[in-house]
Amino acid sequence: MSQPVDHYILSPTPPVIGAWFWGEEQFETDGYKYFIDQASKHSCYNLLTTAIRLRGRDITDIDVHDQVKQAVEYAKQKGIGIALDLDPRLASRKFEALYPDELQESLWLEEIPLSDGTPVEAVIRSVTLSDHMTGSRTPYIPLKSFLSRVYVYQKTSEEISPETLTDITRECEVIVSSKDSIVVRLPANRENKGLHACVMATFTYLTPDVFAPHLMEFTRSIIRNYSDVPLAGGMRDEWGFPPSFPADRMVSGNHFWYSRHYAAAYAKKTGGRELLEDCLLMSIGIKGKEQQRYMAINHYMELNRQQNTLLENDFYKTIKEVFGPDAAVVTHPTWYPYPNRFESKKNGLYWWAARRDWAQTDEITPFGVRTALAKKWNSPVWYNQYYSTQRSDYEEEIWSCALAGGRINYHPLYPSKEKRTERHTQLFNGDLMRAESKIHLLNFISDSPLDCPVAIVFGHQAAINRAGPSFDDVGMELLNSLWHAGIPTDLIPSSEIKEGSLYIDPNGRIKYGKQQYAAVILYNPEFEKTSTADFFHQASRGSAKLFRMGNWTMDFDGNTFNGNSALPKQMIVGRDIQTIVSAVSKELRKQKIDLQTPATRLSEGFGYISNTPPTQGYARLIDGTLIQVSGKDNPAGDPIHTTKKIGKYTVLFDAVGVAAVRLDKEGQVEALAAGGLKHFKTKDFIIDLEERIDLAFWKNDNGEIEGIIQGYEREIPEELLKITSKWTFPNVPIHPTDE
């Protein structure tokens, strides 16, 4: 009998990912060994997304590099790869020293009434920002302030009267200018009563400017400094402008991310428009310039998305160049884990454009986003970095994710008084890793994500234009309703049409990666470009049923546009969500597409609720693989005794936790995976085992059957040798109580 392999096979199957955050204990002599030893013995992890975010520990320091190198080499001996956090924000002081004029700036607009008798003083204070990147490090502190512009004007209602608008910056005096506040004295208004002033002050922060000319090269140099380390890849997460906290203040209309480099890019994009002037227009509005206001916001926000996407893709490219084409680029681009105004402020809601090797999200990111990203990156599974204060929450989350084609990137228990290592090793107790070892079997038999026959294509600009009628609405209520009805649905921004990722194949089918859609709903198309109308006209000649919710009255530049008429006449207009859901359900039945287990479980957090699959049910992958999971009562997996139909063929399972099979057109088994398999039958193919075994088998590229039997140390049963003699025997984690 073959000997067990050391650990889970990293390639070509998707890995099991754990998030490893270093503390000072990892910098002690051999301080990294304890966790790696624990993970090697007691977890399924074979890839660690590893971050060092400690005060006094800079990613470019030699001692950090050397300690990381030792840890990586040791982990590799144990069959575990490390993808290191190589983010330029971990070296902000070095960036400041090299490029002091390329730091991020933050523009605040303060509106005050003028006095007709005495000068008026305006006080503007900055905000010290912090997030996971700073942690115990130096936060995004303000370094200096300066006055950018002062305008005076009269207002009618909430808009500026354009004929009264005047720049009085030279008449104003800066009384105090510190790193965290500025006081500006404005002259008395002796000519006209009722004037207002808008004081525009800029604060410089300790973090690289997203538009900094040298940011890409600086990031590349950090990555190249680790070229002698056998890393499995590189990571950075939650990229973009600094976090928009305090949330209510930062997403108000009187704050803008700004820099002279951003202003130069904006001028180039808009044919010479001046960003400071347009920040006033975007913030308050000027009578008679409503169209220009919409246009300015659209261009400003699109630049946000495009620049952050450019930086992410260069990071991806550099990791591959330095560490090889098989290097993993991780983790999630999501910050606020919900597609809302906070996220659009930070990165233009660029999740679908930030390149990764596998789809990656975090916390409560809606499942429709996760499944869509899996299609975008041709990812067999999606990963969601998850954390909780209770291990039992992980033990529930893992089964819900598996039912939607997903896996957990295991963030350690949080918060906790224990050391960082102890937070993680707490996850190795209980049944979590036993559940993971069963679910991991699915990775061997299919490279297809969850089949989602429906897509919501939301108007990207409409959702992030704060002056528009559909701001902050990506269609989540509709998405939840469809998932709740047993219709897994991908959520995709309309910008993916222009980028060419959402496309129409030569047979007229709407596709996103491998996914073909039976129905597509265009949601809130306000401010769309004409390419969107062209796309749906072409799609109307194909098989997908087309729907629309929301009107299209303006184009991207804010001009009046009859978008409703520009769209195909065959497109059905949905007046309400329930009508759309009913119509989509009817269309799926017409096309003989089966519904899947309704998403009746609720994911709550950050003030939002979204529908997710339960911990027991069935699902279908794009390649036709039928998956059943059950972890409702036992975290390690419940018994599965089912009879299911795949087309005209019947399959019977007696297994535990996981049962999956794919048949060819003649009903022959192409692939099978099951935890604790006891019995399987379809047609004349029967497996009947004396004891339960975790196994998976599939046809390889040569058409030969090969498989794995995990956690099994006895002779291979004759039943399985009839299937193939090519079995591999990966170890399963040792439960701490079994040592």
pLDDT tens profile 588-600:
999 999 999 999 9
Residue 11's pLDDT is: 53
Task: Give strand pairing partners of 408.
Answer: 384
Least confident stretch, 3-17, 272-286, 547-561, 685-699: 3-17
Q: Which one has a higher pLDDT value, 90 or 130?
A: 90
Query: Residue 483, SS3?
Result: helix
pLDDT tens digits, residue range 92-112?
999 999 999 999 999 999 999
If one compares 398 and 249, the residue with the highest pLDDT of the two is 398
The whole-number average pLDDT for the span 295-312 is: 98
- Residue-level pLDDT at 132: 79
Backbone region of residue 676 per phi and psi (left: phi > 0; alpha: psi in -120 to 50; beta: other values): left
Q: What is the DSSP letter of 16?
A: P
The domains located in the chain, with CATH, are: 17-89+307-444 (3.20.20), 103-208+242-287 (no CATH), 454-590 (3.40.50), 615-738 (no CATH)
**Chain centre distance of CA 479:** 17
Q: Does 117 have pLDDT greater than 90? A: no
With beta carbons less than 8 A apart as the criterion, state whether 362 and 338 touch: no
CA nearest neighbour of 132 among 234, 52, 24, 225: 52
Query: Does residue 247 carry a pLDDT above 70?
Result: no
State how far the Cα of 196 lies from the Cα of 200, in Å rounded to an integer: 13
pLDDT value at position 190? 64
**pLDDT tens by residue, 410-424:** 999 877 666 777 777
Task: Kindly report, residue by residue over 634-690, the tens digit of the pLDDT.
Answer: 999 999 999 999 999 999 999 999 999 999 999 999 999 999 999 999 999 999 999
Start-end of H helices in 403-515? 420-425, 432-439, 460-464, 476-484, 495-498
Residue 76's CB is within 10 A of a number of other CB atoms, namely 15
**Model pLDDT, residue 192:** 60
Calculate the alpha carbon distances from 545 to 494, 542, 563, 585, 589 in Å.
17, 8, 19, 11, 12
Average pLDDT of the segment spanning 690-704: 93
Give the Cα separation of 408 and 361 in Å (integer): 10
Angle between helices 432-439 and 391-402 (to 10 degrees): 10
CA–CA separation, 13 and 444 (whole Å): 6
Q: Which residues pair with 699 in a beta bridge?
A: 705
CB 432 within 8 A of CB 665: no
Which of 134-138, 198-202, 244-248 comes out lowest in average pLDDT? Answer: 244-248
How does residue 249 score in pLDDT terms, banded at 50, 70 and 90? low
Residue 608 token pair: 């939002």
Q: Residue 62 corresponds to which tokens in the numbers above?
A: 């030699």
Three-class SS of residue 279? helix
Residues paired with 681 in a beta bridge:
652, 686
Per-residue pLDDT band at 248 (split at 50, 70, 90)? low
* Stretch 46-51: mean pLDDT: 96
Amino acid at 518: A
Q: How confident is the model at residue 234 (pLDDT cuts 50, 70, 90)?
A: very high
Is the model's pLDDT at 1 over the cut of 60?
no
Locus of tokens 């200096």: 144
Axis-axis angle for helices 215-224, 290-323 (nearest 10): 20
Which percentage of the chain shows pLDDT scores above 90?
84
Q: What's residue 8's pLDDT?
A: 43
Residue 727 has pLDDT above 90, yes or no: yes
Average pLDDT, the chain: 93
Tens-place pLDDT, residues 360-393: 999 999 999 999 999 999 999 999 999 998 999 9
User: Does 523 have pLDDT greater than 90?
Assistant: yes
For the stretch 545-560, pLDDT in tens is 999 999 999 999 999 9
Cβ contacts of 599 within 8 Å, gap of 6 or more: 367, 404, 480, 483, 484, 486, 488, 611, 612, 613, 614
pLDDT at 622 over 50: yes
CA distance 626 to 637: 18
Question: Is 9 a residue whose pLDDT tops 60?
Answer: no
Burial (CB count within 10 angstroms: exposed 0-12, middle 13-18, buried 19+), residue 228: exposed
